Amino acid sequence: MKVLAIVLAGGQGSRLNPLTAERSKPAVPFGSRYRIADFVLSNMINSEIRSIYMMVQYKCQSLIEHVNKSWAHVNAFPGQFVTIVPPQMREGQDWFQGTSDAVFQNINLIQRHAPDMVAVFGADHIYRMDVRQMVDFHRQHSAHVSVAAIPVPLSEASAFGIIEADAEGRIIKFLEKPTNPPSIPSDPSRAYGSMGNYLFNTDVLLEALREAHELGEHDFGGNILPRLIHSHRVLAYNFADNIIPGTSSYEEQAYWRDVGTIDAYYAAHFDILSAKPRFNLFNPQWFINSSNYQGPAPRIISGDIKNIAIGAGSMVKGGKVHNSILRREVIIEEDVEIEDCIILDYTIIRRGARLKRVIVDRYNEIAGNCQIGFDAALDRARYTVSESGVVVIPKGREVPNVTNYEI
């Protein structure tokens, strides 16, 4: 069964601003060493789906560079590739107008590859998924289209695009953030949330793309899928049935997060911390690949250090660092206090600084003795502050000299 993956990585991610001021949403760093896009690519490779086109558009240079550096090894064998596809404008002068239009504008790539199925997945979620299990479900149920669906509590379902399905799993309706969401037939306490991941029989996809183009439609979730449910077998695939080897009993078994807002992005980082995290990034049986950065191991000279993840090349000289993520080449000086923070690459936190519930983007130098995250009015006057009060310091303009930093 030949499966081609098309990964949609062109979104602006405006709700993640200022983290997306100079990069696309899939390129946003996550955890101590990853980018958001690494999760969908790792899922495909681990699922032995190794023919992957990634559609990019907005502010894509950093994503292109990351994929070229981190995923070039996939191209070592014939028929295996991770290829970046920017807008080609084969059908006119327009950029991609939506999810389905991005695929339609590259319909020649599907025809050239001639797969049996096409997996159309987003690039902006944090999760593990064995896509081959979804392929098996698709074949066993003679589906034309399968839509990955995550069970969510009814009390939270109004925040999702919801799928209404019958007892067989056949999709009846798509509902965008409904106030009274329909429950899963087998579980009245939950509803199916659409994950934005689709599996198509190739002939069905090609026909649907051409029809949508003729009708001036541009979106899978808003146009193509709602029409196909009336003429084809469009089934909901229950993500809770997807079993990943190596998952620990204490983890959230169907972990999936849309990190499309600052608060969601921030909260997901604390799911990967602690001795028993909700989502354990250490799973040798389902490895998440990322940068091949060859920096030295991190150094902790002294300090009060509790529940942190720290990237290569970083150094903590002293102070207090609790419940935080430090990415690569971060310097923490003496008498610094950091709590519930995410500090991105190449940042220096100078002596005496105090940070609480702060995201610091790359290439920053935080002045000594400053306080961020303690005075809401002052923080809002200087920085972006999320609905829940998380302060975001945008990307700096110059790279601090962390490589030659002297102890």
DSSP label of 184: B
- Proportion of the chain above pLDDT 90, given as a percent: 81
Mean pLDDT of the chain: 93
Q: CB of 52 within 8 A of CB of 82? A: yes
**DSSP helix/strand/coil, 132:** helix
Question: Which whole number is the average pLDDT over 220-240?
Answer: 95
Q: Using CA atoms, how far apart are residues 227 and 149, in angstroms rounded to an integer?
A: 18
Question: Where does the chain hold its CATH 2.160.10.10 domain(s)?
Answer: 299-393
DSSP label of 362: S
Q: Using CA atoms, how far apart are residues 173 and 17, in angstroms rounded to an integer?
A: 32
Measured distance between the N- and C-terminal CA atoms of the chain, rounded to whole angstroms: 57
The confidence band for 100, taking pLDDT boundaries of 50, 70 and 90, is: confident
Look at residue 399 in the predicted model and tell me its pLDDT. 67
Whole-angstrom CA distances from 56 to 60, 102, 241 are 6, 9, 31
Give residue-wise pLDDT tens across range 316-373: 999 999 999 999 999 999 999 999 999 999 999 999 999 999 999 999 999 999 999 9
The confidence band for 231, taking pLDDT boundaries of 50, 70 and 90, is: very high
The confidence band for 405, taking pLDDT boundaries of 50, 70 and 90, is: low
The confidence band for 403, taking pLDDT boundaries of 50, 70 and 90, is: low
In this predicted structure, the answer to whether residue 407 has a pLDDT above a threshold of 60 is no
Lowest mean per-residue pLDDT among 248-257, 292-301, 303-312: 292-301
Look at residue 92 in the predicted model and tell me its pLDDT. 57
Look at residue 212 in the predicted model and tell me its pLDDT. 85
Look at residue 228 in the predicted model and tell me its pLDDT. 95
Whole-angstrom CA distances from 118 to 61, 198, 277 are 26, 8, 33
DSSP for 12-32, written as a single string: --GGGTTTTSSS-GGGSEETT
Pick the CATH number of 299-393 from 1.10.10.10, 3.20.20.70, 3.30.830.10, 2.160.10.10: 2.160.10.10
In this predicted structure, the answer to whether residue 216 has a pLDDT above a threshold of 90 is no
Rounded to two decimals, the pTM is: 0.94
Q: CB of 154 within 8 A of CB of 183? A: yes
Helices 37-46/61-70 angle, 10° precision: 30
Look at residue 77 in the predicted model and tell me its pLDDT. 77
Sign of CA dihedral 90, 94, 95, 99: negative
Question: Where does the chain hold its CATH 3.90.550.10 domain(s)?
Answer: 3-258
Q: Does domain 3-258 have CATH number 3.20.20.140?
A: no
CB atoms within 10 A of CB 178: 16
Look at residue 95 in the predicted model and tell me its pLDDT. 66
